[in-house]
Amino acid sequence: MDLTLRVWRQAGPDRPGAFEEYQATGISEDASFLEMLDVVNDRLTLEGREPIAFEHDCREGICGCCGVMINGHPHGPQKGTATCQLHMRKFVDGAHITIEPWRATGFPIIKDLVVDRSALDRIISAGGYIGADVGGAPDANLTPIPKDVAEAAMDAAACIGCGACVAACPNSAAQLFTAAKVAHLNLLPQGQPERWSRVTAMVDEMERFFGSCTNHGECEDACPKSISIDFIALMNRDYVRAKWRDRAMVARR
């Protein structure tokens, strides 16, 4: 395959950026999108030119590092797929492909296609944990959990924290990410001790960096793990309940 790439290049967060065009020739249709970028970077390096900076780690759709905008779509044209799992056979020979970083205030650009996603880490740090007694771990089957609850928690836990939901949202909202991280703990018995403090802390931290959800639904469509926006409704319900609990406790004092 012979492709024309239009790639965003930016030397640093405080430097101006612009699109640059590259020819990607002789690309195998079985190569992943990141493997295609590897080929381009190898050629740029041999020519003595600066390779394109992009993030990657596991290349198995788990780590969440690889996300970029491809022709205006987070992770590219194939739904439910991370960039590292997108194969070049999804494009036609001779295609023109525009590649950009996530575009969101909460994700400042570090270099080229690399953005700072540490705001998501701060949301998790605010409440994405459970308290547990020290000692040996109890057997898993000692805590009965209804099947539908366990499956819902696992669906939420599938979130890889890539930020595609933020990049797709017209408001640069992070509700789907935060809701998934809240739900996979709040749904389980082990997460109940911090349930109300967790949702309050994580939502409040989220609102420091990202916009507000107005139910466009673009986040669910862009999510490489197809996480449902139903989790946003669950998070909003728990957040309202947590605030009422706080007010009731203050009133009793």
Per-residue model confidence as pLDDT tens digits over 21-80: 999 999 999 999 999 999 999 999 999 999 999 999 999 999 999 999 999 999 999 999
pLDDT band at 249 (very low <50, low <70, confident <90, very high): low
How high is the pLDDT of residue 140?
A: 65
pLDDT above 80: residue 218: yes
| The two domains 3-111 and 117-131+143-252 share their CATH topology (first three levels equal) | no
Q: Which fold has domain 117-131+143-252?
A: Fumarate Reductase Iron-sulfur Protein; Chain B, domain 2 (1.10.1060)
More confident residue, 140 or 87: 87
Contact predicate 200/126, CB 8 Å: no
DSSP notation for 97-135: EEEE----TTS-EEETTEE--HHHHHHHHHH------SS
Q: How far apart are CA 47 and CA 229, in angstroms?
A: 46
Which one-letter amino acid corresponds to residue 181?
K
Structure tokens at 94: 């001779």
Radius of gyration of the chain (CA): 21
Domain boundaries, the chain: 3-111, 117-131+143-252
How high is the pLDDT of residue 144?
A: 86
Indicate the SS3 state at residue 247.
helix
Contact predicate 168/222, CB 8 Å: yes
DSSP notation for 193-223: TTHHHHHHHHHHHHTTTSB------HHHHH-
Q: What is the per-residue pLDDT across 94-119, written as a single tens digit (0 to 9) for each?
A: 999 999 999 999 999 999 999 999 99
Q: Which fold has domain 3-111?
A: Ubiquitin-like (UB roll) (3.10.20)
